Copies of this chain bind each other. A is one copy, B any other.
Amino acid sequence: MSSSTKTANPDLIRVWEETEKNRSLFEREVRNLPLPVKKAFIENKKIAPAGFKPSEEKLAENRDLNRVAEAFPKLYPQTGDRVLKADIANRPLVSGKRVAVLFSGGPAAGGHNVLAGLKKALGPDNVLLGVKHGPKGLLGGSLFEIKEEDLNRLLNTGGFDFLGTDRTKIKNHGQFKLVKAVCRDQRVDALVIIGGDDSNTNAAVLAEYLFENVHADGRGVQVLGVPKTIDGDLQEGALLPISFGFDTATKIYSELVGNILQDTPSSRKYWHFIKLMGRSASHVALEVALQTKPAIAFISEELEEKKLSLHQIVDIICRSVARRAGRGINYGVILIPEGLIEFIPEMKILIKELNEVMADSARLLSELNTMAEKKDFIYGKISAESVKLMASLPHEFENMLLLDRDSHGNLQVSQIPTEKLLIEMVNIRLHEMKVNPAPFIGQAEEQIDLAPEEVERFVKSRFATNSHFFGYEGRCGAPSRFDAAYTFNLGLTAGSLALAGKTGYMAAISALDCGGEALALPLTGLIHVERRHGRDEMVIEKALVETDSPAFKYFLSVRERWAGEDCFSSPGPRQLWGPVAGQLPITVALNQGCAGLDFDLGEETRII
């Protein structure tokens, strides 16, 4: 007997056909979940927009305020660096307003709930317009009205697919003019840009440009930002504890890493090298490390601070492998942030030199026929240190550095399989150590303290590896309870700001563990002067992992133990129901000084 039946039950077929197009059993149930709503947005038990008033808070430590004031002559006097907070006493009574919203950059979980929050804040008397396909769609005027019934589709679902997104940067004059024309033609009163640090920087510039005179009556277009990025590098202390999408992405990656950790002592065969998405900052790697407790997790910012070389990083891995092998543990997990390579000073220099040579001599290089000739030419132009470093890399990576260039002639660092590079180099190094272990064993800092029988066990041990890259899996998952709640309230905040006539602010929610506080952060207060490509630019800085932050210091205090023995735990799949559904990211809770992991963003409220 091979199948118990040769025909399916028609009832089940019917159930299943209904699950197509985002109506899985999970998606249908999750849309019915109530969401916490801050008191400021509740009036007579119904959702209502809040007003805003200045708070005591300023965006501290902004040393560049004078230059920002110069660059934003219209916006700065209105917004400055003073934070606004939601004001229940002063609700905007507005109708007929038209607010357009767009996604900018990579997707992050909760985007659809921002739209839902906006729609709910605007209510039936104002219009919410969706911009299709991100900034590019705005330039092309692809706007449509988002209706109340669309909430059924949007609520608590992952992805940015309801609108789509793209990576076009709106930053030059021609683009500004186009946006102005679109806003005038489609009678847009306010633009809400859901994006990361770059998109919010551009939002500030656009807010300045559209400050007045878009409409015949002299009104300008308001521009508001919403902080999105799974990388978690859009943060501002207590005022902006985290961007949305970070929690869901790290919970997804943490489950996967936890599952693999659980596999290691089960099958006792592999070291897994796992690269985690997060273009520059290592917030994702740090969060996943604290959640799962692997043998090794690299934090790029620390490597840069300590000026570690690639070979020193390889040595760190080899020492852990040898130490564990000495104890009979021939397995482990290593977390590698996506941006690692660029934080290794010598690699940064090498890549810069290569980019320059290859840009300067593009024509000459194209006339050389063989790889050997090209190498000879290039190696004659870069520093001796870089030549040496290149020569020390596995052959295929040497070629990769010389070949793959993007349309601007730059190396696409994110395309380098760092996890595989490290595996190759660790393999070579371990082989050297096993052939002649003596120089590596001892009590000096660069050595490993192993007893003779441990050395023997290490020398005989097998080192087998697997590599993984977790990235796309984490951007469009169904939002965690935290991201779902957080984004809905961000949407309510942004919608309220639009109705309150504010421009040049980013919506924010603080006090995540005690009721939440809806804030408006002045973009002019967030902007700093940064040296980019040899000139000063006004930008919202990426918030990197700080090595004196509570989260990093906690990691420092435990990682030595995690390297030597198995301390891992499995955080499991994120839960939308039950006792563990409401947790903040641990790095956020540590950095915010929270006493526990539970978030509290207001009263549970049925949305539809």
Contact = CB atoms under 8 A, between A and B. Distances in A.
Contacts of A272: 472
A73 B567 CA distance: 50
B107 A8 contact: no
Nearest to A33: B578
If over half of A's interface residues share one DSSP class (helix, strand or loop), that class is named, otherwise mixed; here it is: loop
Contact of A579 (B11, B13, B29, B235): B29
Interface string A444-486: 0000000000000000000000101000111111100000000
B265 A164 contact: yes
Among A259, A290, A472, A567: residue with most chain B CB under 10 A: A259
Given A260-B473, A266-B165, A472-B259, A1 B238 contact: yes
Interface range for A: 35 or more
B1 A571 contact: no
A22 B568 contact: yes
Interface string A127-170: 00000010000000000000000000000011111001110000
A326 to B, nearest CB: 19
Given A21-B569, A24-B258, A577-B575, A159 B265 contact: yes
A524 to B, nearest CB: 16
A27 to B, nearest CB: 6
A3 B476 contact: no
A1 B239 contact: yes
B22 A593 contact: no
A267 interface: yes
A164 B263 CA distance: 9
A437 to B, nearest CB: 26
Given A578-B577, A593-B8, A1 B60 contact: yes
Contacts of A60: 1
A364 interface: no
A356 B183 CA distance: 71
B594 A12 contact: yes
Among A20, A157, A550, A570: residue with most chain B CB under 10 A: A570
Contacts of A59: 1
Query: How many of these chains are in the complex?
Result: 2
B23 A569 contact: yes
Nearest to A577: B578
A318 to B, nearest CB: 23
B268 A580 contact: no
Interface in A19-78: 19-27, 29-30, 59-61
A102 B568 CA distance: 23
A553 B3 CA distance: 13
A589 interface: yes
Contacts of A347: none
Contacts of A575: 26, 573, 575-578
A260 B472 CA distance: 6
A278 B355 CA distance: 43
Contacts of A592: 4-5
A394 interface: no
A546 interface: yes
Contact of A25 (B290, B466, B580, B594): B580
A327 to B, nearest CB: 15
A6 interface: yes
Given A475-B259, A554-B13, A568-B22, A164 B266 contact: yes
A401 interface: no
A604 to B, nearest CB: 15
A508 B352 CA distance: 62
A305 to B, nearest CB: 15
Given A133-B268, A263-B107, A594-B12, A583 B25 contact: yes
A240 to B, nearest CB: 9
A109 to B, nearest CB: 9
Across the A-B interface, the 10 shortest Cβ-Cβ residue pairs: A577-B578, A4-B238, A26-B572, A1-B237, A8-B550, A159-B262, A573-B573, A262-B476, A5-B593, A160-B266
14 contacts: A4-B593, A13-B590, A15-B597, A16-B290, A16-B586, A16-B590, A23-B569, A25-B597, A159-B263, A159-B265, A164-B265, A259-B475, A262-B476, A262-B477
Given A3-B237, A161-B262, A266-B475, 4 more contacts: A12-B594, A270-B472, A573-B575, A577-B577
Interface of A: 1-9, 11-13, 15-17, 19-27, 29-30, 59-61, 103, 106-107, 133, 157-161, 164-166, 235-239, 241, 252, 255-256, 258-260, 262-268, 270, 272, 290-291, 293, 466, 468, 472-478, 543, 546, 548-551, 553-554, 558, 566-581, 583, 586, 589-597
